Chain A
């Protein structure tokens, strides 16, 4: 009974993670410019990969395998924002400007963006 419950939770995590990963990839495909595509990549890096790996953790139970899966999740969560930020800086320096379709009147909109 317990094993079945763990199995169900595990597969629910994997399926939801796969759905989020597909949505993130669709976002990468559909969004208009490189800065907004980073949000899609963010979904893949956080909930997409994260939930699939959490689902695998439930399959592994309490063992060193689970520890390794936790380490993978932690590494991905630590490296993903660093990569995104480096890429955003490179794109800004390379002359790509964020696409803003609707200007806010006033507010704290930076002038150079």
Chain B
């Protein structure tokens, strides 16, 4: 059976070129970058070379890159770091984010609220866009941090981070963005968009899992999450994951080099998918028609449930995911889909297809053959055929 992986926003295959550069660091060049001897110094050189590469791709200086365990840690470090800095001065503060952030941001915010911080969750419009005016209105004299994600992980909507960061900076407030989904898909230049903090994950860009980075603009004070041996200039203690970091930097370098030709190719495949799906009755595309990740297509198929759709597709070798968290740990419909104004019964019927480097024209043709059949089969089982009133 044909296997079609369409879940690249969940994770992606490690590129063979990335695996190749990582391998020596497991069993040959395995030194600890803090060791004084030759093997340690060799590891340290690899670490600093990787840092240079990452900095170059994100358009900052190496000193501004802190390697972490990935997106969740980077986001936690940004929020808690800013909050801890404030707490150290004996004060609480106000944080602004949006209603469509990743759970690692929303749950961090809720925890900070339990410590006495206040959080404003900015609403989004039907496309998933935050309005600059709403940000402007939400900032108070007590605001310590604004964080708005660059591209949404479910519906793929891309925010105008440059404009939002500018508004925060006019009021002398730090600005963070979660760029986990956008890096290598669209240009991410920290100077051009003017952010103070930015999170990146390796496994979303054909790099290994368990590694990523936080960009911290020079002069920005955020306290560390992890205290210990003073690694990463004291911001992130713990022996550096050299194979992971080397792999991450290679994945980022490849992703950035290939972006100008690879993303237009993927975008064409994605558009073909959207066009093909749009002929299915009682279905629609979620997110913004233009301002969206080139890899992302996100649909609702009324009268069926997303988890069933994903599992039936999986039985046909097509690997996708649902916005409806029914598939995983919670049964609540996606907070993102509710935030863009979908009623819960429709939010349960969502399907996310995210493309990547390995997808071909044949994959799309196969998906466009199988998906309508699966939708028809599940609608046959459903008590609802044309409305929820039956």
A binds B: no
Residues of B within 8 A of A (CB): none
Residues of A within 8 A of B (CB): none
